[in-house]
Amino acid sequence: MIWLIMVATGIFTFGTRFIMLNRVAERELPPWLVEALNFVPIAVLTAIIVPAVLIDPVSQSFSILDNQRLFAALIAVTVALITRQVITTIGAGLTTLWILEWLV
Amino acid sequence: MSGARDTADVPAKAPSAVDEFWQGVRDELPLMFGVIPFGLVFGVIGIESGLTIVQTILMSSILFGGASQVVFAQLWAAGVPAPIVGSSVCVINIRHVLYSASIASYLKHLSLGWRFLLGYLLTDEAYAVSIRRFTNGYPGKFQHFHLLGSGSLLWASWQASTIAGVVVGETIPESWSLTFAIPLTFIAIIAPIMRTRAELAAAVSAGSLAIIGQPLPWNSWLIIAALGGIATGWLVHRHDNAKRRNQ
């Protein structure tokens, strides 16, 4: 089953990259669709980030106060805004989390 | 690159196919700082999510899209029904239509084989460097070799870092909380590009819906939050544009 889904989504993904390179798709995308598609990365990635930070992976409970991952994520946002580098952001976030877990 | 001499040299020596290919590779190099750690993280996460070594490694060439692969592994590990896993991956990857549309005028004249190959290589990172070359560079007839260069380097480094991550992932203890690297990677991608009120609105509504929607069946919160975020961002964008026009 996993292979079926992998191949199907793989073909779909290839299709999204290939489709407009064809003479068949001579028409331009409607402007409203282009505008909407611009929001896809921000909407999807935020929808993954927020629960991963606010919901405890073990107890599945929601917490804002006394949440080490939230603090680590805020440090990561700051580092991301300053350095604009994936590696430093991951490093800062993980190090903060490790220090907090070690302290508490 | 300045002065009249450089400008005068342009028509005499247009870049060859090999020049363009290596220019693409060189332009892609700085992006390796983001791609290689991301590939490593995916390799580790694939294994930790319970995918086999072969599944994790082959996903990097079958799907070839970082964020979507991570989501695939995460949802699959959570026991989410296959159709929901599939449609979540599709929603994430639909943005490529934009790249395809925007780069089409430079590639449409190529043979079907070329368009297949370059379509397959059209990732966020390869698109980002090659569209800059196409719009600002020499309009030479070997232009497309630039995308072949940037795309090939990206492909090779993505495969290699996935394999490295799989090898490392087998030995990393769970207590290291390495799965937290996923949200951190995504923070690194979106925090610097968040600019407008509309983008902020898209993020806030997607984040809130993702929390509120947690009890929904089949982990459908992801699709609902994504679509809600896109719709909110688009409406705010429209509203702000209309206001600007009226001023």
B107, B116, B184: residue with CB nearest A93: B184
Map out the domains of chain B as residue ranges.
Answer: 15-176, 194-247
For residue B240, the number of C-alpha atoms closer than 13 Å in the C-beta half-sphere is 13
Say if A37 falls within a structural domain.
Answer: yes
Which 8-state DSSP code applies to residue A28? P
Per-residue pLDDT, B179: 73
- Is B202's CB within 8 Å of A28's CB? no
- DSSP class of A55: B
In this prediction, residues A53-63 reach a mean pLDDT of: 85
- The reply to whether residue B226 touches residue A40, judged by beta carbons under 8 angstroms, is yes
Nearest-Cα distance to chain A for B13, in Å, is 29
Helix (H) or strand (E) holding B152: helix B144-169
Predicted pLDDT of residue B49: 86
Amino acid of residue B244: R
- Asked whether residue A14 is assigned to any structural domain, the reply reads no
pLDDT at B62: 97
Are B29 and B38 within 8 A, CB to CB?
no
**Using alpha carbons only, what angle is made at residue B30 by residues B26 and B35, rounded to the nearest 5 degrees?**
115
pLDDT confidence of residue B180:
84
| Residue A21, domain member (yes or no) | no
Torsion over CA: B135, B137, B141, B144 (sign): negative
Instruction: Chain A: give the shortest CA distance to residue B211, in Å.
Output: 6
The backbone torsions φ and ψ at residue A55, rounded to the nearest 5 degrees and listed phi first, read -110, 125
Within a domain: A94: yes
The share of chain A scoring above pLDDT 70, in percent, equals 96
Query: Could you tell me the residue range of the domain that residue A47 belongs to?
Result: 31-103
Give burial (CB, 10 Å; 0-12/13-18/19+) of A23: exposed
Tell me, yes or no, whether A96 lies in a domain.
yes
Whether A7 is in a domain gets the answer no
Q: How far is B127 from A39, CA to CA, in rounded Å?
A: 17
Number of residues in chain A: 104
Grouping H, G, I as helix, E, B as strand and the rest as coil, residue A32 is helix
**Number of separate domains in chain A:** 1
Task: Report phi then psi at A62, rounded to 5.
Answer: -85, 130
In angstroms, rounded to a whole number, what is the distance separating the alpha carbons of residues B111 and B131? Answer: 19
Q: Is residue A35 part of a domain?
A: yes
Q: What is the mean pLDDT of each run of 10 residues along chain B (247 residues)?
A: 44 79 92 83 88 96 92 86 90 86 88 96 89 80 94 97 91 74 83 91 97 85 90 96 86
Sign of CA dihedral B238, B241, B246, B247: positive
Label residue A25 by pLDDT band (50, 70, 90).
low
- What pLDDT is stored for residue A59 in this prediction? 79
- Contact call for A46 and B190, based on CB within 8 A: yes
Span between the terminal Cα atoms of chain B, in Å: 42
pLDDT of A26: 63
As for the ipTM of the complex, it is 0.86
